[in-house]
Every structure is written in C-alpha cells, then in structure tokens.
C-alpha cells in the first residue's frame, strides 16, 4: 500500500472521462466515416471499441471513382465524369486502422446536447 502511486481525489460532479460520455451521446446518431481508400460509409453509430473499430447499422457505402479510372473510362477526353457508386450494406464494422475521418451529421445532435457549433469550438481548443 505504501508503494501505491498517489491518486488525486476527484471532486463530486467532475467527469473523469468526458470523451467517453461524448461518444455515448453519439450512439444512435448518423455518422459519416471516410476510409483510407477514399470510400465513405454513412450509417447509424452503434458501437466503438478500443481499436477505434466502428459498428454502423443501416450503412450506405459511396465509392468515388479515382482520376485514373475516370480517364480510362472516358478515353481521357474529358467527357462525362463517372458518377460515384452507392450500395446498401446493412450492418458493418469499419476497421479503425482504415479511418481517416469521422463526422457526426447534424440531424439529432442538438436533441442529445451536442451542438455542432459548440463541438467545433471545443475541438479548436485542443
């Protein structure tokens, strides 16, 4: 017991883990994830683990054609651009190692005490 590191007492009402509470408030919200290969997946946020793997339900994947694929598809002549491909996925696990960006979409955030403007301001303080 004498070798235990000293611990500071946390006053009542002070949250030790504000990030955990923030993520819990996002459960059930619609989020958009951007992957390292350029795809985006939009769905309802269900779960996050310690490896940053995200579980989304009602997920929709959007794949944008690369510049190289567009040039091959139209002969490089600058014709009509290839539209992105969209597909319904259902429930998916997005690996944390492939995440580039995660965005909470505005609908429903204010009802959960998550004002997008306040979140952006808090993000700027870090």
**pLDDT tens digit string along 50-81?**
999 999 999 999 998 876 655 555 555 566 78
Per-residue pLDDT, averaged over 106-118, amounts to: 64
Q: Which residue has the higher pLDDT, 38 or 110?
A: 38
Burial state string for 78-106 with b = 16 or more CB within 10 A and e = fewer than 16: eeeeeeeeeeeeeebebeeeebeebebee
pLDDT at 106 > cutoff 70: yes
Whether the per-residue pLDDT at 32 is higher than 90: the answer is: yes
The pLDDT, as a whole number, for residue 60 is 97
What is the C-alpha separation between 26 and 112, in angstroms, rounded? 8
Q: What is the mean pLDDT of residues 78-101?
A: 90
C-beta atoms surrounding 113 within 10 Å:
10
pTM: 0.67
Residue 14 in this model has a pLDDT that exceeds 80: no
All domains in the chain, ordered by first residue: 30-105 (2.30.30.100)
């Amino acid at each position: 017991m004498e070798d235990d590191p000293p611990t500071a007492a946390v006053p009542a009402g002070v949250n030790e883990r504000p990030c955990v509470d923030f993520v819990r408030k996002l459960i059930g919200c619609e989020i958009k994830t951007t992957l390292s290969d350029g795809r985006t997946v939009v769905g309802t946020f269900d779960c996050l683990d310690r490896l940053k793997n995200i579980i989304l339900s009602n997920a929709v994947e959007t794949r944008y054609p690369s510049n190289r694929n567009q040039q091959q598809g139209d002969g490089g002549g600058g014709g009509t651009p290839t539209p992105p491909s969209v597909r319904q996925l259902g429930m998916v696990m997005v690996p944390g190692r492939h995440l580039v960006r995660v965005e909470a979409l505005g609908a429903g955030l204010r009802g959960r005490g998550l004002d997008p403007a306040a979140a952006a301001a808090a993000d700027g303080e870090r």
